[in-house]
């Protein structure tokens, strides 16, 4: 029984940073104010020649595409009174690849939520009088792990984001010859709308959100654990 408990305990701790990261990725994907802020900050309307309303129309369409609500990512727009198709074929191919990544991210989120639920049910079902002590200790451990990982990632985001971004694309999408993720900022609207600085800001916001949430969970679990120790609710096995 102790072996099973330790396995669940370990899986639960590992799942916490994955759960928080995948949750924030999904939240940022659907968070329209993030896009609005970036469009204003980087003057995307001037770069693309589209109005703010057109940019938000494109954004909503992309979000619907990534969420599987529309099948075709291509969009007909109007610029200087003339109609045009927004994306080139290589941009569409890359967006289809990105959609797959977001699909997997959502699946990971569901799996880690299930891990949390299973460990919670396992804790409730156990007859060990220390079960809640172990639950809060694991919750604190998982969030400490999250903060440690995100602080290391944050250093790379601040001081070497371009290389991190490049290596991420090679790892996830492979050679640009087989998956055209290297775009031309002079002709490809996808990179005009979402330059490197946009992704760096999104990463910083995501890391900050996760770290704050993890620190809050660490504080709450530490208070609860102190209460257990103070009141003698944790029973040492002899």
Does residue 238 carry a pLDDT above 50?
Answer: no
Q: Within a domain: residue 236?
A: no
Please give the DSSP secondary-structure letter assigned to residue 217: H
Residue 18 CA to residue 146 CA, distance in Å, equals 8
For the chain, how many structural domains are there in total?
A: 1
Q: What is the mean pLDDT of residues 154-164?
A: 91
The answer to whether the CB of 95 falls within 8 A of the CB of 87 is yes
Report which of 17, 15, 30, 3 is spatially closest to residue 150, judged by C-alpha positions.
17
Q: How far is 8 from 15, CA to CA, in rounded Å?
A: 10
Residue ranges making up the domain that contains 66? 2-230
Q: Is the pLDDT of residue 13 over 90?
A: yes
**Would you say residue 151 lies in a domain?**
yes
Give the up-direction half-sphere exposure of residue 116: CA atoms within 13 A in the CB hemisphere.
15
For residue 238, being part of any structural domain is answered with no
Please check whether residue 63 lies inside any domain of the structure.
Answer: yes
How many angstroms separate the CA atoms of 161 and 207, rounded? 13
Identify which of 87, 130, 124 has the alpha carbon closest to the alpha carbon of residue 225: 130
Q: Is residue 28 part of a domain?
A: yes
What ranges in 160-195 are assigned the alpha helix state H? Answer: 161-173, 189-193
pLDDT tens-digit map of 102-125:
999 999 999 999 999 999 998 888
Whole-angstrom Cα distance, residue 179 to residue 155? 29
Percent of the chain with pLDDT over 90: 75
- Tokens 């759960």 correspond to what residue? 19
181-215 confidence digits (pLDDT tens)? 889 999 999 999 999 999 999 999 999 999 999 99
First vs last Cα of the chain: how many Å apart? Answer: 17
């Amino acid at each position: 029984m102790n072996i099973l408990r330790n396995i669940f305990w370990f899986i639960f701790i590992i799942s916490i940073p994955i759960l928080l990261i995948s949750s924030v990725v999904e939240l940022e994907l659907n968070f329209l104010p993030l896009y609005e802020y970036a469009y204003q900050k980087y003057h995307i309307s001037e770069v693309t020649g589209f109005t703010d309303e057109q940019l938000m129309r494109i954004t909503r369409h992309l979000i619907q595409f990534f969420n599987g609500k529309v099948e075709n990512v291509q969009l007909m727009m109007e610029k200087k009174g003339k109609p045009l198709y927004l994306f080139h074929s290589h941009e569409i191919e890359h967006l289809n690849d990105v959609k797959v990544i977001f699909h997997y991210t959502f699946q990971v989120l569901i799996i880690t939520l299930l891990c949390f639920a299973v460990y919670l049910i396992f804790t409730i079902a156990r007859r060990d009088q220390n079960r809640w002590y172990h639950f809060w200790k694991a919750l604190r451990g998982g969030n400490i792990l999250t903060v440690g990982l995100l602080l290391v990632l944050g250093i790379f985001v601040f001081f070497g984001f371009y290389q991190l971004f490049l290596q991420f694309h090679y790892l996830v999408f492979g050679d640009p010859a087989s998956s055209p993720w290297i775009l031309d900022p002079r002709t490809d609207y996808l990179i005009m709308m979402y330059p490197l600085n946009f992704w760096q800001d999104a990463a910083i916001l995501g890391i900050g959100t996760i770290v704050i949430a993890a620190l809050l969970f660490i504080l709450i679990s530490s208070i609860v654990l102190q209460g257990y120790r103070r009141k003698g609710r944790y029973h040492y096995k002899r």
